[in-house]
Amino acid sequence: MASHHSVDAGIAWIDGATRCLNEEDVPVRAARGRALTKDIRAAGPIPGMDRAARDGFAVQASASWGASSYNPVRLPLIAVTAGEALPAGMDAVVPLELAEPDGRGSIEVVDAVTAGANVERQGAVAASGATLSTAGTRLGAQHIGLLTDAAVSVVQVVRRPHVCILVVKPVKSGGWEDSNGPMICAAVERDGGVVGACVAVGRERTALASALAEAGADIVLLIGGTGPGTDDQSAAAVTAAGELALHGIALCPGETTGLGRIVSGSPVVLLPGAPAACLWSYELFGGRAIRRLGGRNAELPYRSREMATARKIVSALGMTEICPVRNGRGDTVEPLPSFAETGLVAAVSADGFVIVPEGSEGYPQGARVSVYLYDKR
Amino acid sequence: MASHHSVDAGIAWIDGATRCLNEEDVPVRAARGRALTKDIRAAGPIPGMDRAARDGFAVQASASWGASSYNPVRLPLIAVTAGEALPAGMDAVVPLELAEPDGRGSIEVVDAVTAGANVERQGAVAASGATLSTAGTRLGAQHIGLLTDAAVSVVQVVRRPHVCILVVKPVKSGGWEDSNGPMICAAVERDGGVVGACVAVGRERTALASALAEAGADIVLLIGGTGPGTDDQSAAAVTAAGELALHGIALCPGETTGLGRIVSGSPVVLLPGAPAACLWSYELFGGRAIRRLGGRNAELPYRSREMATARKIVSALGMTEICPVRNGRGDTVEPLPSFAETGLVAAVSADGFVIVPEGSEGYPQGARVSVYLYDKR
């Protein structure tokens, strides 16, 4: 492991090594959360014809002129419900409360309507050729509704990234139960990836190199064996199986993160085996790569907000540090014991976290900081 | 349909009619996004024993005292990797760079260490009995990692609400293709519900009442046929199949929303058939019910932020109106054509929306308003 690279250098490497995957066809109904690869335009006007905007009776507006409660006008009874096409020749809808059926196929209208009244005109929602959804959009319920309504049944979306997770066995693996694999699987799924495999591998260089060489995936996450010890062969295995680009990043927790590629060209992210370091290395590098491959927003998938510090936040100069925080009085946050001290407990106790960049020693009390917030409910 | 009820009255009815469902056992690995029903405590200290906090050599600290580069101290070579238990009798770890193996089973230590140096003490992460995750928490990757590490393999979480969606056929159903069902299915899944059935039913009262009576679900969403027209029998069908509590809510779009129960006690939400009204009625009432049943945060699942209006936002007094907005210059929003005018196009073109309560006629230019934001990427 050479001297530490900056987090920014790691992010730049990830961004250079990943781009949006190719597209696939998916039925609109199954496309929630997927990212469109191209704009979708209306094949015709929406609605395709003039239609009733509310329940009532279709009329020719001019025939209602002069109608009042003193002078009801008798017209043919043509009931229409909201959304229904207006019958030919009709150009307005008289609402239910302004007409009375006479029981003999006619209505008595007690107020005049103008042409177009209570009618949704052809093309009112969207003209033919109008953009219904733009490339890059992640589809939500509203898009699925609109596109189905516009008779679009299949959409082109970015393929979901296939992820191979290799978990390096510890030196003494008797009774060992891996917790990093399940944790990272959950994070990959959150980020839109598909876990193709999550398997344990021996920590010897040859075992690791052949597991890497066989990994048919859009990205490989290799967890553990990333440190400087003689039993730590993950970095050497990446070198043997392709190219190790960066190893050792000034990130706490996550110092032994590594980045590289296997011969197929797929990126490999080396995640440290210590759980909190594994998580943060994933969030900043592995997750970013997966989000980019899948056409999602590359940034951390947490909402962030500017808040004041209720107590000072201390961080080591020269390291980007992830500092867990909890809500204080008012709109403030205060630091919790670090990830280095309490591991994942910090992540589950915290209301959020602050990222202190490597050039900073932290923030004094009362400083305005950008806080990433966990959604705990 | 009687006089309009307020949105607040509708929300109060939903809150009174729904409470968190019972729990079920789920493997931790499959529990991402699920809500815990009880606190989870550590069955023992974490870690369960003193373990190496970094790669190096396990030593008895006192044996290293006096060591320096001028006076290396020879000690037995006991290599440990981070996370590994300290061998009996050892109480510190000498980092790799401060010791040199001599190739004959010993190391030469060039700096003294104190007891506990580079050791993660038993219980440092969590004491036995400490709370690892609290009831109500929606599990994220970090919880799955921590709980697996603590040898918790199964958790008790709120059962996912089963939802029956009944879509009322239009009066003229030839060539009709429903878009509300797919849209609402997507929204239900987003909110953690399981769509047990999404079926079209005839609009006659008897057909609807028997479909309602047969709906075995935690909640029923009945879409369409909610208006005042003679062909609109959804409200009457709920009365026939149970109890119609409220019909007609001062919400735009979504005026013909209805709320009630079927005989089994499950709530029924009547969603208007016009797509934008259907969506908003779902968001405020149906979705809220599903989120509550599933133990989630009941509020709208959008992040919100206070922003200034770049142009005035106009709304009718007496109606709660959902106003689509787009980002303006700086930290501002400006109104877009309403949902009433452009239907779902407003929802897909907008960057977010503002909810103008029924007692307000809108906001002047420059007002600070709470904006709900769509995540479009």
Split chain A (377 residues) into runs of 10 and give each run's mean pLDDT.
Answer: 83 98 97 97 91 89 92 92 87 90 92 91 90 96 95 96 96 84 98 97 94 94 89 93 96 96 96 94 98 97 94 94 95 92 90 96 96 90
Residue B25 — very low, low, confident or very high, per pLDDT cuts 50/70/90?
Answer: very high
pLDDT confidence of residue A1: 53
Q: What is the DSSP letter of A192?
A: T
DSSP string, A24-62: EEEEGGG-TTPBBSS-EE-SS-BSSS-EESSSEEEE-GG
- The Cβ of residue B350 has, within 10 Å, a number of other Cβ atoms equal to 26
Chain A residues touching residue B376 (CB < 8 angstroms): 136-138
CB contact under 8 A, B377 and A184: no
Do A146 and A28 touch, CB atoms closer than 8 A? no
The reported pLDDT for the residue numbered A85 is: 87
Asked if B159 and B24 touch (Cβ cutoff 8 Å), the reply is yes
Structure confidence by residue, pLDDT tens digits, B75-92: 999 988 877 889 999 999
Q: Is A152 helix (H, G, I), strand (E, B) or coil?
A: coil
Among A138, A228, A275, select the one facing B377 at the smallest CB separation: A138
Residue B117 has pLDDT above 80, yes or no: yes
Q: What is the least distance, in Å, from the CA of A65 to any CA of chain B? A: 24
Residues of B in contact with A46 (CB under 8 A): 345
Of A371, A367, A339, give the one whose Cα is nearest residue A355. A371
- Check CB contact under 8 Å for B377 and A296: yes
Q: Residue A177: what pLDDT?
A: 87
pLDDT > 60? residue B2: no
* B54 vs A contacts (CB less than 8 Å): 227
Task: Give chain B's mean pLDDT.
Answer: 93
Calculate how close chain A gets to B53, using CA atoms only, in Å.
9
| A297·B377 Cβ contact <8 A | yes
User: How far off is chain B from A265, nearest CA to CA, in Å?
Assistant: 26
Task: Compute the distance between CA of residue A355 and CA of residue A186 in angstroms, rounded to an integer.
Answer: 22
pLDDT at A172: 77
pLDDT at A258: 97
* Predicted confidence band of residue B169 (pLDDT cuts 50, 70, 90): very high
Collapsed DSSP state (helix, strand, coil) of residue A181: helix
The pLDDT, as a whole number, for residue A42 is 95
SS3 category, B362? strand
- In chain B, alpha helices (H): 7-17, 61-64, 141-149, 180-190, 205-214, 234-241, 275-281, 287-293, 339-342, 344-349
Answer whether B170 sits within 8 Å of A81, measured CB to CB: yes
Alpha-carbon gap, residue A278 to B256, rounded angstroms: 51
Considering CB atoms only, which of A125, A136, A278 is closest to B343? A125
How far does B281 lie from chain A, in Å, by closest CA? Answer: 13
Residues of A in contact with B82 (CB under 8 A): 227, 229, 273-274
Question: What distance in Å separates the CA atoms of residue A196 and residue A162, rounded to the nearest whole number?
Answer: 6
Closest residue by Cα to residue A221 from A291, A293, A288, A286: A286
pLDDT score, position A3: 59
**Is residue B91 a contact partner of residue B60, using CB atoms and an 8 Å limit?**
yes
Please identify which residue in the block is written with the tokens 């990427």. B377
Which domains are delineated in chain B?
7-22+160-293 (3.40.980.10), 24-46+124-158 (3.90.105.10), 51-120 (2.170.190.11), 304-373 (2.40.340.10)
Nearest to B221 by CA among B71, B14, B3: B14
d(CA B217, CA B264): 9
Here the ipTM equals 0.91
3-class DSSP state of B236 = helix
Per-residue pLDDT tens digits for B279-331: 999 999 999 999 999 999 999 999 999 999 999 999 989 999 999 999 999 89
Yes or no, beta carbons of A171 and B303 under 8 Å apart: no
Identify the residue whose tokens are 């296997």: A262
B246-287: pLDDT as tens digits: 999 999 999 999 999 999 999 999 999 989 999 999 999 999
Q: Which residue in this structure is represented by tokens 């936002």?
A: B313
Burial of A86 from C-beta contacts in 10 A (0-12 / 13-18 / 19+): buried
